[in-house]
Chains A and B, each alone.
Chain A
Amino acid sequence: MTNLLLFPILIPILTASVLLFFPKRIAAQRAVTVVGLVASIIAALFLLRTVMTDGVQAVTLGSWPAPFGISMVSDPLSVSLVLTSLLITLGVVVYSFRSIGEGREKYFYYPAILFMLTGINGSFTTGDIFNLFVFFEVLLLASYLLIVLGGEKRQLRESIKYILVNVVSSAFFVTTVAMLYSVVGSLNMADIAEKVTEIGQSGILTVIAVMLILVFGLKGAIFPLYFWLPGSYAAPPVPVLALFGALLTKVGVYAIIRTVTLLFPHDPGFTHELLMILAILTVIAGCIGALAYYDLKQIVIYNIIIAVGVILFGVAQMNMAGLEGAVFYLIHDMLIKAGLFMLIGVIIAITGTSNLREMGGLMKTYPGLAWTWLVAAFGLAGIPPLSGFFGKLLIVQGAFEADNLWGGIIILASSLIVLLSVIRIFIHAFWGEPMPVKGTSAGIYRGLLIPAVLVTALTVFYGVGTEWLRPLMWDAAEILHQPSIYIDAVLKE
């Protein structure tokens, strides 16, 4: 099957197009969405098996020869990100049944999610930098709809900020791609990588590399470009927040990973050093934010920023341990953030507030929720054998191997702050005197908790099954470490 790697992109957009025919029939919308997502997951699993047995898959659209047509490439990193995104989306869609409300469901909520998923999977799969821009726009347009859908006052205010930031960064992105094209004369990422190696990474190319890092950093929320994120992400309802928090920033992170490992790996003294400094500052800024707030949403949102810093710090080491750790941690973070956001959604549904000071004593009435939260919190902080442990271990090992002692120590210290920030939620919300709560019906509680527990269980398996996942992650990191494998797979056909 030549086109197998396109299925996880095609099935969501096809499903979304079908959904446009009957926007008001909610039951049908839900059923078709779930069927489409399950079909995509099956396709992604097949793709994963093919990539593991036959190596990197590549197809150049329209039967054009490789550097001229648009190449789509599926390597272990991109296929595992695609699969993770699909699983998370399925969880969030099931979670939405009981929480998003009929009003939104009737106004293209599910098509918007699927269009966004198309953009996300496309960004993970494409091997052409202009096509990457196009898929970015696809996911951004869908996310504009999701952030404003419902039209609450706060949503309208924050969506203006969100759209402005993204329009500006998209403009910079196109400008940078134009500059890159005028220097290198190609848009195919594998071809660019080969040509940059040939002509040497001169000053102008390093400038372009830094511009790309900044453009993707604005979407991926690195220091000091994360200013828009805490406000904008807190505005939409929790299921949308879970999708944004788990998936959108990670697309930016993925693009940075490709930029510094595939396109511009030749001047690590400048680009990677810069990335490392920014990553450490991101971690520190995220830690300050995570401790500063008494708002459930804000605490977890600042944890996204910490995680982005940790992943990019691992990438900046540019050795096998650091890269493998970054890949491990990237996927762990997508899963665990989805789980955490879904769980705080349950807490908010029960208490009717996201302010920690106004809740307490939920342990007695909702023990299942409490223990799931504790497991997710330990997983986030990286207590072995849960999912955050191994990735962070490898990242720190990579830092020590690359003689970045202080960076490694800061990453380790940040784990403690992460643990403190989420345990604080546990202490305030679940321990102490029970506060009068709004309460919720048992049906809604179960409908919200079950998908959240399933996603959390997935992170536990991810942590316990580390040994089993190791070969996949090793392959992913090896391609990042030796881009020639990727380049050959695209250009040799």
Chain B
Amino acid sequence: MKSSDVILQTATKVVFFLIFLFAIHIFFAGHYTPGGGFVGGLLTASAIVLLLLAFDLKTVSRALPFNYTIMIAIGLLLALGTASASILFDVPFFTHAYDYFDLPLFGETSLHSAMLFDLGVYLVVVGATMNIILTIGSDD
């Protein structure tokens, strides 16, 4: 199906990045305030779905040439790997570590190992959602 909706396509080119940036914001906000990998992942997936609506399946898969199944696998390994680091230190599984660092630009920042786990969740959610939508969408 070739769509020729100029307004939708033009708006999408801007709105896609807005949604994506907001998704990243929500992702990082997740540690102390509402948000996190799951919501961030869903928002990102919704941005890609908007692209799919405005353009067609082929264009989007050329612009974002990801294999979403591999994305799920990487996400799972990242999440499991982060949680499994606790095995090396012989503390209960999922125990997370954090510390404060002085980063350029950001100033004093607290970095958490839980963020890596959340990144895994993010990848799994994006991968799974996109897999479902593409499977349904490519039926016709």
Which A positions have Cβ atoms within 8 angstroms of B? Answer: 1-3, 6, 10, 13-14, 16-18, 20-21, 23, 59-63, 69, 72
Contacts and interface: CB of A to CB of B under 8 A. Distances in A.
Contacts of B69: 20, 23
A63 B92 contact: yes
A17 B80 CA distance: 9
Interface stretch (B30-38, B47-55, B83-91): B83-91
B77 interface: yes
A14 B80 contact: yes
A17 B91 CA distance: 24
Contacts of A6: 93
Contacts of B90: 1-3
Interface string B34-65: 00000000000000000000000000000000
B133 interface: no
Contacts of A3: 86-87, 90, 92-93
A321 B89 CA distance: 43
B15 to A, nearest CB: 32
B70 to A, nearest CB: 6
A13 B92 CA distance: 18
Given A17-B76, A21-B70, A59 B92 contact: yes
22 contacts: A1-B90, A2-B90, A2-B91, A2-B93, A3-B86, A3-B93, A6-B93, A13-B76, A13-B80, A14-B77, A17-B76, A17-B77, A20-B69, A20-B72, A23-B69, A59-B92, A59-B93, A61-B95, A62-B93, A62-B94, A62-B95, A72-B93
Contacts of A62: 92-96
Interface residues of B, number: 17
Contact of A20 (B76, B87, B91, B95): B76
B134 interface: no
B76 A10 contact: no
Nearest to A115: B76
Contacts of A69: 92
Contacts of B92: 2-3, 59-63, 69
A6 B80 CA distance: 12
Contacts of B21: none
A14 B90 CA distance: 19
User: Could you tell me the dominant secondary structure of chain B's interface residues?
Assistant: helix
Contacts of B86: 3
A63 B73 contact: no
A62 B70 CA distance: 28
A186 B53 CA distance: 45
A23 B91 CA distance: 34
Given A10-B84, A17-B73, A62-B94, 7 more contacts: A2-B90, A10-B80, A60-B92, A62-B95, A62-B96, A63-B92, A69-B92
Among B84, B93, B96: residue with most chain A CB under 10 A: B93
A61 B93 CA distance: 5
A10 B76 CA distance: 12
Interface string B93-108: 1111000000000000
A18 B77 CA distance: 8
A29 to B, nearest CB: 13
A262 B23 CA distance: 44
Q: In the complex, which of the residues B69, B90, B94, B96 has the most CB atoms of chain A within 10 Å of its own CB atom? A: B94
A10 B77 CA distance: 11
* Among all A-B residue pairs, the 9 with the closest Cβ atoms: A20-B73, A17-B76, A62-B94, A63-B95, A61-B94, A59-B92, A63-B92, A3-B87, A3-B93
Interface centre among A1, A2, A17, A69 (most CB of B within 10 A): A17
Nearest to B91: A63
A21 B75 CA distance: 12
A21 B73 contact: yes
Contacts of A72: 93
A20 B80 contact: no
Contacts of B91: 2, 63
Contacts of B73: 17-18, 20-21
A60 B95 CA distance: 10
A376 B80 CA distance: 40
A62 B92 CA distance: 6
A23 B72 CA distance: 13
Nearest to A16: B76
Contacts of B94: 61-62
Contacts of B76: 13, 16-17, 20
A21 B86 CA distance: 25
A111 to B, nearest CB: 9
